[in-house]
Structure 1
């Protein structure tokens, strides 16, 4: 009899999955953090995030940067990708999308710290950047800058 693996409960990784049609339908999976005794930062970057304007149905685009210091759990990256792409058919304002993603990650992972920067491309000539953070990062953890410059037009 084989020993149980920390990955045994994953349902998406390693198999074909169906793209969820909404963020509510999407499942975020987590795995135990095998390095939970060490504080370290994890970064996910989604430079081609897409959602829909809730009023016009026009696409909105953002560059998302998700940083977190895990506690007992890590997010499984394929489930995160499917969760983020589920917003392609979802109508919500930039602020709602950004904060909803951050809150869902916090609820699923219970991280020691999480920060999400939503750098939204201009619509109607105005870029909207939305930032969420759970508090101060743990001392001694290297948290690099996001590397995403503020929007700059022709000037």
Structure 2
């Protein structure tokens, strides 16, 4: 049971530390010496929970990147994102964590992670975080 100043919830809310990056599998980008490529991945069934209430948060996670040496294997990305299912995180933190984790594993030239979250209480939210290789 989680308590805060406004709510007591009977739901179990996992801490973001349960998210494991070792599920993400980098694959060598075979055309790295020939040309650059832009990759766009959509996960329209993203779920996590509100860290205050435990109620479900849903949305679409969009990952856009330009690889350097590696691309991400999509099934490993799917399993990585499924870990968020019971994790309590605010939207702004979700996109930053996904960006940090992915950029840390595949080390792209650039990456942008956008979360387009389903409206709750009449308010919709879009959050974007960006990484550029130094």
110, 113, 116: which one pairs with 2:113? 116
Query: CA offsets, 1:87-133, max 9 Å, x none?
Result: 00111111111110011111111101111111011122211110111
2:123 alignment partner, one of 102, 126, 146: 126
TM-score relative to the length of structure 1: 0.70
Alignment match, 1:24: 20
1:64-94 superposed Cα distances (whole Å, 9 cap, x missing partner):
1111110001111111000111100111111
Aligned to 2:81: 84
Task: Call closer, same or farther: CA 1:25–1:103 in 2, change over 3 Å.
Answer: closer
CA distance in 2, matches of 1:87, 1:133: 20
Unaligned runs of 5+ in 2: 1-17
| Aligned residue pairs, count | 116
| Structure with the greater alpha carbon radius of gyration | 1
* RMSD of Structure 2 on Structure 1 (CA): 1.8
List structure 1 runs of 4+ shifted beyond 2 angstroms: none
- In structure 2, the partner of 1:94 is 91
Segments of structure 1 that go 5 or more residues without pairing to the other structure are 1-21, 137-155
Q: Distance between the aligned counterparts of 1:35 and 1:89, measured in 2?
A: 38
Given the two structures, how large is their TM-score scaled by the length of structure 2? 0.80
Question: Which of the two has greater strand per residue?
Answer: 2
Query: 1:35 is paired with a residue of what secondary structure?
Result: coil
